[in-house]
Structure 1
């Protein structure tokens, strides 16, 4: 068993095909098949189910892939580190939408001014998708607003944040002196998509009060939700950082709900087997400062 076996296994998994893996690696199909069979014989397990001429990873195969991705990644990083100084290379950074909108541009600007020869590639999406990209080693590390769902990830908080409840300027709740979660049950909800960090916190907090909101509108776009709220379609729970300018401009209003806690933290996440280069560590230091 050697690195070649691991690279072939990863290529087959990523392409879901021995034929495509053979073409991309410039290796014959029989050689690919032999390498996979050697791995299965070596470990005494079945890595793939072969059904209707298609390959499906077994549960053991999924576990092996998790390690294989990082074994091959470590080797690639070793070569990069040896061939380049620490001020040359690239960082693949992931970010949830709130962080990507308000914090990431400044982080990249500061980092690039200090390390002009390091390219930074940023992917912005909801926290759940970003987490999976880190697990698949398609990102070196990420900054997210939600809690992690995998034991293979390391998570460290680096910044406090808060969600707020927003409504249109004509919402009747604004006339009440005291607003409770019970009052929110009378409202229609516009919410971020499922599995986003914002949605997960909003759902969990409302559930603690015995209330499950069924949104009339779900969107990955915060701006779309804000526009819907400003037009009186309903209320929303969104990050204060994303809505504070709209509140200041008088486009929407904030509802001060007395019995609800929507504070949270932002997290740095990376795979537990990931080797962080010194430039990666410098970027993470920048975030914590």
Structure 2
């Protein structure tokens, strides 16, 4: 059982196809099929069920993939580290939409000033998608607004954010303190799309208070929701990071919730991930950023 076997297995698993894996690896299809058979014989496990012209991974394949994808990655990292030190190469970052919009650009700029020769690749998507990228080793470090689902993913909180209620100018709740979600729910609600981190948290809060809300609007665009609120089409609850500027510019107005909704923003990575010096530095930058922001917030509150 060799590294070559693992690379072939990872390609077959990710493509769900012998043919596509062979093409990706520039190998003959029979060679790929034979390598998979050797793996199955070696471990005494069936990794793929062959039904018609398609193959389907078994549960054993999923278990093996969790190890193989990171062993292959670790080998490739070793090659890069030994040949180039830590001054070259690529670091792959994933971020949820809120973090990718308001936090990631600052962190990337700071990182590139420290490691100007390291290429940074970033993907911005929903938190659940970022976790899947971490699991499949498509990115090295993720930054999400929720807790990861998989036990194979480690999470480190680096910043706390709040969901704030926003209403139109002249709205009865504008500037009111001690507003409840039940009071908010009496008005048309403009909400983020299903699957977004903010929507999941808000839905959970509604469920806890046994409130039934049918959104008047659903959108993946925070600005579309903010503009809808500004035009008097309804109310919304959105991350403070996304609406702070609109509140400061008085585009929309705040209703102070009786029970503030706080959440932790997390750095995530696979528990088997090997960290190079540059990756460790990025984690430290994130943690420093979080402490700085929280200190600024505390200072503002004291004033």
Classify the TM-score, shorter chain: over 0.9
Residue 231 to residue 52, structure 1, CA distance change in 2 (3 Å) = farther
Structure 2 counterpart of 1:243: 243
Displacement of 1:178: 4.7
Task: Indicate the residue corresponding to 1:200 in structure 2.
Answer: 200
Contact 1:22 1:32 in 2 (8 A): yes
User: Does the CA contact (< 8 Å) of 2:191 and 2:237 recur in 1?
Assistant: yes
Query: 2:267 — aligned with what?
Result: 268
After TM superposition, give the deviation of residue 233 of structure 1 in Å.
Answer: 2.2
Whether the 8 Å contact between 2:166 and 2:236 is mirrored in structure 1 is yes
The answer to whether structure 1 residue 111 and structure 2 residue 111 are counterparts is yes
Question: 1:108-147 residue pairs with structure 2 within 5 A?
Answer: 108-147=108-147
Deviations 1:94-149 (A, max 9, x none): 11111111111111111111110111111111111111111110000111111111
Does the 8 A contact of 2:228 with 2:234 survive in 1? yes
Distance in 2, matches of 1:257 and 1:155, equals 28
* Partner SS for 1:166: strand
1:23 is matched with which residue? 23
| Cα pair 1:146 1:196 within 8 Å, conserved | no
Contact 1:170 1:232 survives alignment (8 Å): no
Q: Distance in 1 between matches of 2:125 and 2:179?
A: 33
Runs of at least 4 residues of structure 1 off by over 4 A? 175-178
Determine the structure 1 residue equivalent to 2:13.
13
Q: 2:14 and 2:101 mapped to 1: Cα distance?
A: 30
TM-score relative to the length of structure 1: 0.95
Who is 1:185 aligned against? 185
Displacement, 1:248? Answer: 1.8
2:40 paired residue number? 40
Aligned partner of residue 50 in structure 2, secondary structure: strand
Q: How many residues align?
A: 288
Shift of the 52–228 alpha-carbon distance from structure 1 to 2, 3 Å rule, reads farther
Please state how far the C-alpha of 1:181 moved relative to its aligned partner: 2.1
TM-score (norm 2): 0.90
| Partner Cα separation in structure 2 for residue 185 and residue 221 of structure 1 | 21
Structure 2, unaligned stretches of length 5 or more? Answer: 289-303
Q: Distance in 2 between matches of 1:118 and 1:30?
A: 38
Task: Check whether the contact 1:152–1:271 (CA below 8 A) recurs between aligned residues.
Answer: yes
Unmatched segments (≥5 aa) in structure 1: none
Structure 1: distance between partners of 2:177 and 2:41 = 71
Change (3 A) 1:101 1:91: same
